[in-house]
C-alpha cells in the first residue's frame, strides 16, 4: 500500500506534510526513471498546476528535479487536471504531473502523477517513487553538460485541449444563458473561453484567483453560490467546478442541484436511447445514492459499484469496456473522450442532452429522486484502528439492523486525509442524522478523535 500517494496523488499541507523537497525528489526520480526508457535518455514530462500560491513553488521544484535528471519539463502553467491527461495521451510525453489538491483548501496541495495513457499512475511506479523518497533506492546520478534537461513553455498544449473541448459540442449554445462557477481555480480562464466560443451568454463567478481563495465558499463544494447566481440572473443552467476542474455539479433553471448521480442517470438514459451504452451498464461507487439505483432499475439500466475514487471507476470501465461512470461528487468519466473525470467536458455533455432532446435540465432529472443522505467526517489519529474497533463495529451493526432494507450505513476511510467518513441513507433525514451522530459519538468515546 502506498505511503505518500493516496487515491488522488500525494496530498497534504504545503511545507508540512508535502514539501518542496518532496517535489524535487519526485521530479528527480521521474526524470531518471523515464529517461531509462528513452533511446536518447531524455524523458519528456508535462506539468500543470492550479492557482494555489504553493503551486508555483512545487512547479519550480519539480522542474528542477526533472531537469537535474536530464528530462525536459514542459509547463502548461495554470490548467486543469484533465488537460494534463489529454496532452499526455495525445502527444509524445512519457508522463504528466498535475499540482493540485483538488477541492481542498488553499493551504493544502498535491502531486498527481499521470501515465503515458493519460490515466492515473500505476501502483508499481508509485511505489518506486516512494522508495526513492524514503532513501531506499539510493542516489541517482545528476545529468551533466548537454544532458541537463530543459524547461519549456508549453501553453500551446493547453490551447489544443481547449480546441478539443470545443470540437465535442454537437450544437451551438446561441441564446442560452449559462452560469459558470470556476472556484477561483484551474478553470478560471478555460471554461469561459469554451462556452463563449460555443455561443453561450456566460455569467461567470469566482474567476479571480489570488492564490488563497481557491474553493473558498465557491465551486462544486459550495454549490449554494451558483444556485443564487442562477436564480438572480434567470439563467438556463449553471455548472460548478472544483479547484482543478475534474469535477462538475450542475444547477437547473429553478436553482436545484443536479449532482453526479443525477448526471449519470441523465446521460446514462441518453446513451441507452441511442444504443450507445456499452454493456447496458453505468459504473458507480458505493457512495452513490439509493435513488440512483431505483431510477436505473426503472429505466432498465444495469450498474456496477466500485470503491470510492474515480481511479477505481476508471479501472472498472477500462477492464470491462464500459463508457460511462462516475461519482456523486461530480467526477464523471466519459471514457470515449477522456481517461479521467473532466468538469468542463461534463458540462458540455449535459448541454448536449438538453439541446438534442430539447428539454430543460430539471425535466431531464425529474424521474430521479434522491434519498435523504447525511455524511459527516471526523478527523482521527488512526483510521484503520478506529474503523476496526469492536465497539465501533458493533454500533455500525446495530444501525444496519435498524435500517434493514429501507436504508444503509457506510463508514469508510478517506484515501487522502486522516479522516473517517460516516454516511447514512434512509427515508427521513432525521433518522440519518441520528444514526450518523451515534457512530460519531462512539468513535469519540473510544478516544480516536484527533486533537
CB 97 within 8 A of CB 9: no
Eight-state DSSP code of residue 62: H
CA dihedral (350, 339, 193, 58) in degrees, to 10, reads 140
Residues 6+ positions from 377 with CB-CB distance below 8 Å? 414, 419, 420, 421, 422
| CA 395 – CA 386 distance, rounded (Å) | 12
Q: Is 244 annotated as a binding residue?
A: yes
- 357: three-class secondary structure by DSSP: helix
102 is known as an active-site residue: yes
CB 264 within 8 A of CB 305: no
Q: Please state the separation of Cα 264 from the chain's center in Å.
A: 15
Q: Is 102 annotated as a binding residue?
A: yes
For 332, the grid coordinates are: 464523471
Q: Is 246 annotated as a binding residue?
A: yes
| CA 40 – CA 45 distance, rounded (Å) | 15
Cα radius of gyration rounded to whole Å, the chain: 22
Q: Is 236 annotated as a binding residue?
A: no
Please tell me which residue in 83, 102, 288, 329 is annotated as part of the active site. 102
Q: Which residue positions form the known binding site for Mg(2+)? A: 102, 242, 244, 246
Catalytic residue numbers, as ranges: 102
Amino acid at each position: 500500500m502506498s505511503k505518500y500517494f493516496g487515491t488522488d496523488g500525494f496530498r497534504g499541507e504545503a511545507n508540512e506534510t508535502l514539501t518542496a523537497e518532496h517535489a524535487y525528489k519526485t521530479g528527480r526520480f521521474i526524470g531518471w526513471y523515464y529517461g531509462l526508457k528513452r533511446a536518447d535518455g531524455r524523458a519528456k514530462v508535462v506539468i500543470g498546476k492550479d492557482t494555489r500560491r504553493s503551486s508555483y513553488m512545487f512547479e519550480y521544484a519539480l522542474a528542477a528535479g526533472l531537469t537535474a535528471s536530464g528530462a525536459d519539463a514542459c509547463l502548461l502553467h495554470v490548467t486543469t487536471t484533465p488537460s494534463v491527461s489529454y496532452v499526455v495521451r495525445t502527444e509524445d510525453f512519457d508522463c504528466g504531473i498535475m499540482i493540485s489538491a483538488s477541492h481542498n483548501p488553499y493551504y493544502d496541495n498535491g502531486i498527481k502523477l499521470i501515465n503515458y495513457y493519460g490515466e492515473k499512475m500505476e501502483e508499481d511506479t508509485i511505489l518506486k517513487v516512494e522508495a526513492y523518497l524514503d532513501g531506499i533506492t539510493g542516489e541517482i546520478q545528476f545529468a551533466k553538460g548537454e544532458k541537463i534537461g530543459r524547461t519549456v513553455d508549453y501553453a500551446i498544449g493547453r490551447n489544443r485541449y481547449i480546441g478539443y473541448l470545443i470540437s465535442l459540442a454537437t450544437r451551438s449554445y446561441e441564446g442560452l444563458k449559462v452560469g459558470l462557477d470556476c472556484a477561483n481555480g484551474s478553470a478560471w480562464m478555460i471554461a469561459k473561453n469554451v462556452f463563449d466560443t460555443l455561443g453561450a451568454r456566460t455569467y461567470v463567478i469566482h474567476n479571480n484567483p489570488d492564490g488563497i481563495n481557491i474553493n473558498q465558499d465557491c465551486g462544486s463544494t459550495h454549490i449554494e453560490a451558483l444556485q443564487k447566481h442562477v436564480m438572480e440572473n434567470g439563467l438556463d443552467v449553471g455548472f460548478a467546478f472544483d479547484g482543478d476542474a475534474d469535477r462538475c455539479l450542475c444547477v437547473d433553471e429553478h436553482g436545484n442541484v443536479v449532482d453526479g448521480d443525477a448526471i449519470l442517470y441523465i446521460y446514462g438514459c441518453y446513451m441507452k436511447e441511442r444504443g450507445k451504452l456499452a454493456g447496458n451498464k453505468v459504473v458507480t461507487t458505493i457512495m452513490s445514492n439509493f435513488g440512483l439505483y431505483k431510477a436505473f432499475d426503472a429505466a432498465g439500466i444495469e450498474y456496477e459499484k466500485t470503491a470510492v475514487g474515480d481511479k477505481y471507476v476508471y479501472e472498472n470501465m477500462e477492464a470491462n469496456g464500459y463508457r460511462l461512470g462516475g461519482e456523486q461528487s461530480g467526477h464523471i468519466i466519459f471514457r470515449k473522450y477522456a481517461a479521467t473525470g473532466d468538469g468542463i467536458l461534463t458540462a458540455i455533455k449535459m448541454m448536449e442532452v438538453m439541446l438534442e432532446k430539447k428539454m430543460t435540465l430539471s425535466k431531464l432529472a425529474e424521474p430521479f429522486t434522491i434519498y435523504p443522505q447525511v455524511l459527516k467526517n471526523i478527523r482521527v489519529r488512526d483510521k484503520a484502528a478506529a474503523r476496526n474497533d469492536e465497539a465501533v463495529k458493533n454500533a455500525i451493526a446495530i444501525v444496519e439492523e435498524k435500517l434493514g432494507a429501507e436504508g444503509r450505513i457506510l463508514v469508510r476511510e478517506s484515501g487522502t486525509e486522516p479522516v473517517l467518513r460516516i454516511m447514512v441513507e434512509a427515508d427521513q433525514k432525521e433518522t440519518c442524522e441520528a444514526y450518523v451522530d451515534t457512530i460519531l459519538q462512539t468513535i469519540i468515546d473510544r478516544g480516536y478523535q484527533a486533537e
